[in-house]
Amino acid sequence: MDLLEKRWRRYHFKNLTYFVLSIIIGLILLNTTLFRELIFNIGNLGYISAFFGGILFVSTFTVSIGTALLLLLAETLHPVEIGIIAGIGAVIGDLTIFHYIRNKNLDAEIKHLVKVLGGDKITHIIHTKYFSWTLPILGALIVASPLPDELGVGLMGISKLKTNQFILLSFILNSIGIFLIVSAGVILRP
């Protein structure tokens, strides 16, 4: 046991390992009937459901549940209301990811992984002045899209974006993205 503990302490990719494990656990939970029923029963709580739908909307392994929940709510709530309330929930989800990347040195692990994979050219590109200002913009485009937010938040997390700027940006982009998806769902509903 002592040898295993020493190896774990020297292991450079602890946070990436935790991240991958959380995705695997999320996928396992998604395949259980009890968890699915719990999520869809939350849909009966109105605005609280929109808030939780926004939190679920930002993660890779819960985006489908969050989207289904928000589209279900569109039958009873206005898309603007859903966009605003779910946007607040999405900020909570994104802020959790943002702080995890900043506070757990996940960016250092990613840089180490790139170095291990022989990424001297990638490292050089990342440190150019043109690339540094594109990280937040590229991250914002990903957050605004229907794609899960981890990559976009990660790009904004490793940039020099301040937390209060991130919160405002995340709210605006997620609210607009959720509004557009819910509106499209209302228009295309059979």
pLDDT at 171: 93
pLDDT at 175: 93
> What are the residue boundaries of the structural domains of the chain, listed by start?
2-188
Q: Compute CA distances 94 → 40, 75, 77, whole Å.
A: 22, 26, 24
pLDDT at 98: 79
Q: Please say if the pLDDT value at position 169 is more than 70.
A: yes
pTM over 0.85: no
pLDDT digits over 133-156, tens only?
677 777 778 777 766 677 777 777
pLDDT digits over 33-49, tens only?
887 677 667 767 888 98
pLDDT at 41: 74
Instruction: Give the residue-averaged pLDDT of 6-25.
Output: 71
Q: Compute CA distances 49 → 13, 82, 154, 181, whole Å.
A: 35, 9, 26, 16
Q: Compute CA distances 15 → 103, 105, 167, whole Å.
A: 11, 8, 23
Q: Which has more confidence, 146 or 176?
A: 176
pLDDT digits over 73-132, tens only?
888 889 999 999 999 999 999 888 877 777 666 666 666 666 666 666 666 666 676 666
pLDDT at 188: 82
* Token couple for 19: 């991240």
Chain mean pLDDT for the chain: 77
